Structure 1
Amino acid sequence: MINKRINITQKNFLLFLYIVILGLFGPVVYWVSNHNTQLPFTGKAEKNPIQKRMSIGEKILVKANNDAAKQEGITAFAGGDYVLAIEKFQSALKRVRNDPETRIYLNNAIAATTESPFRIGVSVPIGGNLNVAQEILRGVAQSQDKINRNGGVGGKLMMVEIANDDNNPEVAQQVAQKFVRDQKILAVVGHNDSNASIAAAPIYQDGGLVMITPTSSAETLTAMGNHIFRATPSTRNLADTLANYAVNVAGSENVAMCVDSDSQVSVSFKENFTWAVYNYGGKIAPFDCDLAAADFSPEEIPSQAISLGADTLLLAPSVRKVKKALEIASDNDDRLTLLGNHSLNTYSTLKDGQNDVSGMVLSVPWYQKAIARNSFIVNAQEFWGGGVNWRTAMAYDATQTVSQAIASGAERQNLQQTLANPEFSTQGATSEISFLPSGDRNLQGGLVKIKPGKKSGTGYDFVPLNMDQIIEAAPKPSPKGATTNPRVKSK
């Protein structure tokens, strides 16, 4: 009987203790489970899913370039055997010389054998647009190789951590959070798509980590904070250059436009191009052509534009809608003069567009100028076995910018101040890199025309136009025209 009473008393005590604990911690559990709150990063990679998308050499992200030697290098790197990793990565590059991921991992392995290397991050759309991702990685890899071959920065070699964000804004935010939490990351080169960059920018800004995008040109991006920079010109500069050509060189009188309403960069290009065309004395056709529309029908678009009096058609897709833009070009059948934005400056435009895009003029942030023995272009030929486009050049410039800022003594917490200094400048792929107070690069961009050629291997090439002559010959917009901006001011 006594034992039975003791058991009852013990049960009552345990029940009382349970109620007390529930009362103390129950509200906390409820609040956490009902709020979108992220718990602090524990530092354990295996418990952090975004880590599967990131690597400094311990995993292959670009599965298309996976051969035996590269895999052996990855295994050695993950196990801390950097000497063997170097040997295997070198062997892999002999087989596939234009693989930028392997080149970065090789340089990372070399840096890992030295004392106190420094680290930057790069975020690219490996699962969203592999060609674009590799174009950006080639620029980063070429810059890293140059920096490390010259002894690094202050005797410290550069390591690059690669992240795959798929051009997905939500994933880009997770990548940004990971980079911000990792105090070893001094700056980030990324992201590619403007939608991804705009989504991630507030996280970098709040975390005090500099982000330099090599490719995002949407006008609103750099207004999101003083830690946000871009190595590429903004859409305002790119659109103005193309509008100048359209009205004053090509003689376009009425331009219809096709854009991707889901893309910040596409919408931004449309707004700035509209403003510039009116400024130069041209007109924009009242034409609604949305590449993101559910009822998109490419075969009807050229005829509809012509019926509205258009003589020119601007195709301004995001990188995700390049294929749809090429479908319109196929149905155009040379009826309308074709113009394109910088998103169309891709290998797939030449390969898939062929004669349908022959004669199209595109705005581009950069093109290979005929500068004798330019080190960037010469090294690009040596590294990758061919020419490179603006994404590679701008990624190279972004990486060079970070290294120069660090070389001047800047650390993570004061890197922004160094880049924002009006006196800051460094040499880029073919021109000097400096930033406006907005964080935008002080660069105008240029134009290329698609013509038959042999350099790309597709039968067609992007051929630079002489912009100096074009701009000199073209009339300048009058101040009076600047008061007739057709854009909505509040946007």
Structure 2
Amino acid sequence: MSPQGEWQCDGIPKNNDPSYQGSGEHEPYVNNGPFCLICGLPKEAMSAGKTKIQGSSPTSTTTVSPPPTPNSPQNKILPLVIALLGVLLLTGGGFLGYQVLTRERTPVANSENGEADSFISQQARNAQGISQGEKILLNSTPTKESAAQAFAAKDWEGAIEQYEQAAQEQAHDPESKIYLNNARARKAGNPLTLTVVIPLGSNPNAALEVLRGVGLAQEEYNQNPQLPGRLLEIAIANESSSSPTTTLADDLIQAPSVLGVLGHGVGPETEAAIQRYASAPMPVIAPINADVTESAGRSLLKTIPLDQGNENLLKSYLKALATTLTQYTQSEVDSLAGVIFYNGDSRYGMGVQQALTTAIQLNNGRLVQAVDVAQPGFEVETALAQAQDQGANAIFLALSKDYLDLATELIQANAAQNNPLTIVGGDELYSPNILVNSGEAVAGLVLAVPWSFQSADSFSQKAYQMWKGRVSWRTAAAYDATQALISAVVANPNRVAIQQKLEQGVMIVGTNTDFSIFQAVPLVIAVEGPQGPPGSNYQFDPLP
């Protein structure tokens, strides 16, 4: 049998080679690439009497999972999925259930050259917010629109030429660079497809910062692919407040070409989406389902069940962030008396507020007041006056990215007081908008961030060279997460194997981030300097 062309897999090897072990019997599935997207068996395993074809695997040796035991998670996953689909059809799933079944059996690669037959958005409910290069989601320009038209027409040469020009015109724009690499991956055929989910509408600057990290990891992989001939494709998906996150998760689950997901936020919608991914299964790395442990100077990232009860990456980080900010502020004031401004309408705001409350008490400080800025009737001037009247000498800003404008008001109003209070904040305020919009009032603002730009750092240098400017902690974190997911993908490019790899743990080797940040988070301070964003005379530098 030729390595190209359609072939059907049911999870049961048809030859006599004992090394082939799938994830157990599953519903017949039509594949076009060298491996089954459901169980990971290679094409030749379905050929009765055939032996293993040398060189058919993307790597020099075939990684074979140990035989699953009757009660192993591998054997439980697929029957569960089939049962859930049956329930959809029998209990009112109707047309949606039928779509799920038919989409899962739709070929995802062209039988002639291994290129994808369709784009994720063509069968998605959230089509307008998903793109692999066929539409522009951020910062549209005539060149980018021309490139998208060529991409949509599957004119890969034209798309490459136009996206190259767009990337030259806007070197800091990660969308053009990602789509350029996607066009190259499509031209090569049989791409490895991952999706990054980000809030494009509510916080485009943060989204761009994340995309720069993902785009850098993609660029590096495609320059030296670990699976020869298979380049990395990144689909961008908008996590919009106008549509349920769970439907976006369903769109990605029902796209057989998607091997894994990065991103999502930290709210209840994300929890529901991750539960969807877990039952699919779909590998996903998100702040609320990841944990990082450090041993002998090496950091291991694992994905964990939401109901496991252990501290996840977000909880561990917020605890360290609060402790670091509290101890720094204690060193700047006499007898710490702090007021916390937080927004109670987000998991992040509540999480930082709770962590700060605990840290202030454990470090013998006094919590003057915790003020929820999301409550009706909140006024900046009134709240600051009350804080001073109650003896506060420090302000802790536990605000999410949706409250950057309010954070700016608080910073400016505090600076205008006769006796400004020491003011510190969390990583969500690490934004060019804070530097630009706060003006001179931003001087001396201290933030706790997991990574900061340092000229001597190798990652900082290559990121600066690629994006023609400084990058943020979000870029570094996204780069690390993408590298971790890529490591799991290249080990065995099918969803079940990738998820198992992430559950076992993947070493983080990307930015060489020191994950002892879970004991002490690095601090940055706003100082005058020439490397800040346009419109500001300030930049964030590591605190001496």
User: What is the CA-CA distance between 1:232 and the residue it aligns to?
Assistant: 10
Q: Show the 5 A alignment for 1:72-91.
A: 72-91=146-165
Q: Measure, in 2, the Cα distance between the counterparts of 1:301 and 1:350.
A: 23
1:272 counterpart (342, 348, 355): 355
Residue 376 of structure 2 is aligned to residue 291 of structure 1: no
Aligned to 2:116: none
2:524 counterpart (448, 457, 462): 448
Secondary structure at 1:368 match in 2: coil
Distance 1:177 1:234, change over 3 A: farther
2:364 counterpart (271, 281, 302): 281
User: What is the CA-CA distance between 1:247 and the residue it aligns to?
Assistant: 2.2
What's the TM-score once normalised by structure 2's chain length?
0.71
Secondary structure at 1:247 match in 2: helix
Aligned to 2:225: 151
Distance 1:283 1:154, change over 3 A: farther
Letter in 2 for 1:322: L
Secondary structure at 2:523 match in 1: strand
Distance 1:127 1:215, change over 3 A: farther
Would the aligned equivalents of 2:451 and 2:513 in 1 still touch at CA under 8 Å?
Answer: no
Which deviations, in whole Å up to 9, do the C-alpha atoms of 1:180-229 show, x marking residues without a partner?
2222211111114545533422222222222213699999x966157x98
Q: Measure, in 2, the Cα distance between the counterparts of 1:344 and 1:322.
A: 7
Letter in 1 for 2:541: V
Would the aligned equivalents of 1:50 and 1:174 in 2 still touch at CA under 8 Å?
Answer: yes
Moved more, 205-214 or 49-58: 205-214
Would the aligned equivalents of 1:217 and 1:232 in 2 still touch at CA under 8 Å?
Answer: no
Would the aligned equivalents of 2:144 and 2:163 in 1 still touch at CA under 8 Å?
Answer: yes
Distance 1:354 1:449, change over 3 A: same
2:452 counterpart (358, 367, 380): 367
Secondary structure at 1:234 match in 2: helix
2:383 counterpart (301, 324, 335): 301
Residue 176 of structure 2 is aligned to residue 102 of structure 1: yes
2:475 counterpart (386, 392, 399): 392
Larger radius of gyration: 1
Q: Measure, in 2, the Cα distance between the counterparts of 1:401 and 1:163.
A: 20
Letter in 1 for 2:538: Y
User: What is the CA-CA distance between 1:94 and the residue it aligns to?
Assistant: 1.4
Distance 1:289 1:80, change over 3 A: same
Secondary structure at 1:379 match in 2: helix
Would the aligned equivalents of 1:92 and 1:102 in 2 still touch at CA under 8 Å?
Answer: yes
User: What is the CA-CA distance between 1:445 and the residue it aligns to?
Assistant: 3.0
Q: Show the 5 A alignment for 1:299-448.
A: 299-332=381-414, 333=416, 335-372=420-457, 374=458, 376-409=459-492, 411-421=494-504, 424-431=506-513, 444-448=520-524
What's the TM-score once normalised by structure 1's chain length?
0.78
2:274 counterpart (186, 201, 223): 201
Q: What is the CA RMSD across the aligned residues, in angstroms?
A: 3.2
Would the aligned equivalents of 1:170 and 1:199 in 2 still touch at CA under 8 Å?
Answer: no
Would the aligned equivalents of 1:139 and 1:394 in 2 still touch at CA under 8 Å?
Answer: yes
User: What is the CA-CA distance between 1:45 and the residue it aligns to?
Assistant: 4.9
Q: Measure, in 2, the Cα distance between the counterparts of 1:281 and 1:231.
A: 25
Secondary structure at 2:244 match in 1: helix
User: What is the CA-CA distance between 1:233 and the residue it aligns to?
Assistant: 6.2
Question: Identical aligned pairs, as a percentage?
Answer: 29
Q: Show the 5 A alignment for 1:148-227.
A: 148-166=222-240, 168=241, 170-192=243-265, 194=267, 196-213=269-286, 224=306
Which deviations, in whole Å up to 9, do the C-alpha atoms of 1:53-79 show, x marking residues without a partner?
1010111111xx222221111111111
Distance 1:29 1:231, change over 3 A: closer
Letter in 1 for 2:137: L
Distance 1:396 1:218, change over 3 A: closer
Aligned to 1:60: 136
Aligned to 2:298: none
Letter in 2 for 1:85: A
Query: Any gaps of 5 or more consecutive residues in structure 1?
Result: 1-27, 435-440, 467-491
Query: Any gaps of 5 or more consecutive residues in structure 2?
Result: 1-87, 104-119, 293-302
Distance 1:222 1:157, change over 3 A: same
Q: Measure, in 1, the Cα distance between the counterparts of 2:260 and 2:452.
A: 26
Would the aligned equivalents of 1:299 and 1:331 in 2 still touch at CA under 8 Å?
Answer: yes
Would the aligned equivalents of 2:288 and 2:312 in 1 still touch at CA under 8 Å?
Answer: no
Would the aligned equivalents of 1:397 and 1:433 in 2 still touch at CA under 8 Å?
Answer: no
